[in-house]
Amino acid sequence: MISDFFLEQLKNACRIEEIINSYVELKPSGGGRFVGLCPFHAEKTPSMMVYTSTQSFYCFGCGAGGDVISFIMKIENLEYIEALKFLSQRAKIDFIEDENNSTQKNIKKRLLAANVAAAKFFYKSLLNSAETKRYLMRERKLKTETIKKFGLGFAPDGSLNLTKHMLSLGFSVDELLEAKLVARGSGKKVYDIFRNRIIIPIINTKSEVIGFGGRAIGNFKPKYLNSKDSLLFKKTNNLFNLNLAKTEKTDTMILVEGYFDAIAIVQAGFNNVVATLGTALTTKQAQIISMYAKRVVLSYDSDQAGVNATRRAVNILSELGLQVDVLNLGAYKDPDEFIKNNGSVRFKNAINSSVAALDFEFNAIKNKFDLQKTQDKSQFLKEVATWLSKITNQLDREVFISKISTEQNIDHQVLNSYVNNLIKRRIKSKEKAVQNNAVKQLISRTVNREDNQRIPQKYIISEELIICALYKNPDFFQLLNEICPSDLFITKNAIIYDVLLERLKELQAIEITCLNSVLDQNSIEKLSGILARNNDILLNKDIVLECVNNLKRYKQEETELKASQMSGEELKQYFKKIYKSKNI
């Protein structure tokens, strides 16, 4: 088994456009795509597309496709593992020798056990440290039960406290290194990573301790120290408190920046809060949130850095179709401070009266300019018009256009037509891309269809669009998981669809690179083809539902057709079976 972590690392280091370009000259063809002569069949006009967004390639001439690993396998004529070695050598990454599944699982088990033992050690040390307890209870205003609930702990000062304890329990130095609990210094000696810090265990949705956050006591730097990425833990793919948040029956998720913000909010009575782990919000984390919530209330710090982070998060979250609101903390610097000073009832009111992300964005743009100055004012209008042109809801747009024209004393008509021009320009460039793609799609309809001769196009296209929707927007997972089991699929696309569903269920990555080990080459090519053919199509819920209905219709027609061709006796048996299954 090759770990997703290694594959992710490899994928980040080996950009597909760069690798392919070292074999075939690639030319940009807009929208993050490149085109070049396919090395796998003879051609004079280029028909191989490389997509930077999905890190995949597909040849519209011969149907070759896949990710960077498939490309290397094909062009260098290598086996999968050899191709991984080839690429990791090129990228100067250590190749993690393939271990069989059970050793990998055993290692994971040992690391999890090490984390549990460490968490217990930290918790006990906290009970013995009156000073740290005082800090948590007086300054942080945490109740004893909250400390218990989160399993907060304390890493004493000194470089070998934890190491000695863990060795006495029978863990090896290698295991401690692998769990990122200790590090090796320049003199080859190992030492505790967490020293003189309050410890916050990070627990995943399976209630496993996968890592730790450590907050310095006093002015020690860095203020926060998190576990480094390990076999168990990847900070860009996890969220603090998701284990508690997912049990709360609500459509709203509060998103904060810090552990203590989340802890304070839980103590105030709201479990539905998660925090990022010392990095800016990632798309992956946003996708995870979208599996549990429809509305996100952002509650970041109120300083400039927090405002910038909020705007960034608003973009990522709204792109996934989530409703995003922003909490107004007034004069308080973060939700922790707010709750300490105002209590939980006021915090609840603040959540309910949080402003829509649109208002927040508008104010953030406005605050960048001094609108008394003419130059600033025209710069502001330009920026705000670009922003307006990206708002998809026409009514929302109109509200802001009216508001701005009144506030800034600008002719409503002028502003309106300026914004409309920007929108038209954007639509035009999009249409062009779709047109280009339509031509390519027509060509592609003739390839890779060998196993689907009898099945009408519309059903195959429906399958492809469902797969594409799920791949590009994993937030369709919940919907599809409910209404579209993989046996609705008619062709072998079912295999691909099944793997995507299974992995999303387990919160595993679904990029092609990670699928290479679970899907055969044929399926990988198919998937690349599907993504390539539908690259420019914007998929919304209605389209997905229509596709699912198509597949259901096919199943029904097929059953009826079968029934019409049966003999009298067969028909009797057939109905018996149906009655039995429905308990009639």
Asked if 326 and 357 touch (Cβ cutoff 8 Å), the reply is yes
Nearer to Zn ion, 62 or 461 (CB): 62
Least CB distance from residue 523 to Zn ion, whole Å?
18
Asked if 190 and 183 touch (Cβ cutoff 8 Å), the reply is yes
Least CB distance from residue 11 to Zn ion, whole Å?
23
- What does the angle CA 551 – CA 552 – CA 555 come to, to the nearest 5 degrees? 90
Residue that is written with structure tokens 């003879």 in the block: 42
Nearer to Zn ion, 40 or 387 (CB): 40
Nearer to Zn ion, 75 or 81 (CB): 75
Measuring CA to CA, which residue among 483, 432, 441, 482 is closest to residue 460? 441
Nearer to Zn ion, 336 or 525 (CB): 525
Residue that is written with structure tokens 């945490």 in the block: 142
DSSP strand pairing (273-275 vs 295-299)? unpaired
Residue count at the site for Zn ion (CB under 5 A)? Answer: 7
Report in angstroms the alpha-carbon separations of 16 from 4, 13, 117. 18, 9, 42
User: 65: Cβ–Cβ under 8 A, 6 or more apart, which residues?
Assistant: 56, 57, 58, 59, 524, 525, 527, 528, 529, 532
Nearer to Zn ion, 275 or 527 (CB): 527
Least CB distance from residue 493 to Zn ion, whole Å?
21
Q: For residues 153 and 200, what is the distance between their CA atoms, to the nearest angstrom?
A: 7
Q: For residues 110 and 576, what is the distance between their CA atoms, to the nearest angstrom?
A: 53
Least CB distance from residue 61 to Zn ion, whole Å?
4
The one-character DSSP state at 240 is B
Least CB distance from residue 315 to Zn ion, whole Å?
37
DSSP alpha helix (H) spans, 227-367 = 242-245, 259-267, 283-292, 304-319, 335-352, 357-366
- N-to-C CA span, the chain: 48
Nearer to Zn ion, 2 or 59 (CB): 59
> How many Cβ atoms are within 10 Å of 25's Cβ, its own excluded?
11
Least CB distance from residue 114 to Zn ion, whole Å?
49
Measuring CA to CA, which residue among 124, 142, 278 is closest to residue 212? 278
Least CB distance from residue 446 to Zn ion, whole Å?
14
Least CB distance from residue 526 to Zn ion, whole Å?
15
> Considering only residues 187-216, where is the footprint of Zn ion by CB under 5 A?
none
**382-411 in b/e burial notation, b at 16+ Cβ within 10 A?**
eebbebbbebeeeeebeebbeebbeeeebe
Nearer to Zn ion, 65 or 201 (CB): 65
Least CB distance from residue 246 to Zn ion, whole Å?
45
| Secondary structure, 3-state, 447-492 | CCCHHHCCCCHHHHHHHHHHHHHHHHCHHHHHHHHHHCCHHHCCCC
Largest CA distance in the chain: 89
> Segment near Zn ion (CB under 5 A), from 64-72, 476-484, 508-516, 543-551?
64-72
Q: Calculate the dihedral angle through the C-alpha atoms of 65, 67, 71, 77, rounding to the nearest 10 degrees.
A: -100
Least CB distance from residue 25 to Zn ion, whole Å?
15
> Considering only residues 4-63, where is the footprint of Zn ion by CB under 5 A?
38, 40-41, 59, 61-62
Nearer to Zn ion, 39 or 278 (CB): 39
Least CB distance from residue 40 to Zn ion, whole Å?
4
User: 34: Cβ–Cβ under 8 A, 6 or more apart, which residues?
Assistant: 17, 20, 21, 26, 27, 28, 49, 50, 52
Nearer to Zn ion, 67 or 257 (CB): 67
Nearer to Zn ion, 27 or 134 (CB): 27
Least CB distance from residue 42 to Zn ion, whole Å?
9
Q: For residues 410 and 469, what is the distance between their CA atoms, to the nearest angstrom?
A: 42
> How many Cβ atoms are within 10 Å of 494's Cβ, its own excluded?
16
Residue nearest to Zn ion (CB): 38
Nearer to Zn ion, 84 or 532 (CB): 532
Least CB distance from residue 441 to Zn ion, whole Å?
16
Nearer to Zn ion, 61 or 474 (CB): 61
Nearer to Zn ion, 41 or 124 (CB): 41
Query: Which residues contribute to the site for Zn ion (CB under 5 A)?
Result: 38, 40-41, 59, 61-62, 64
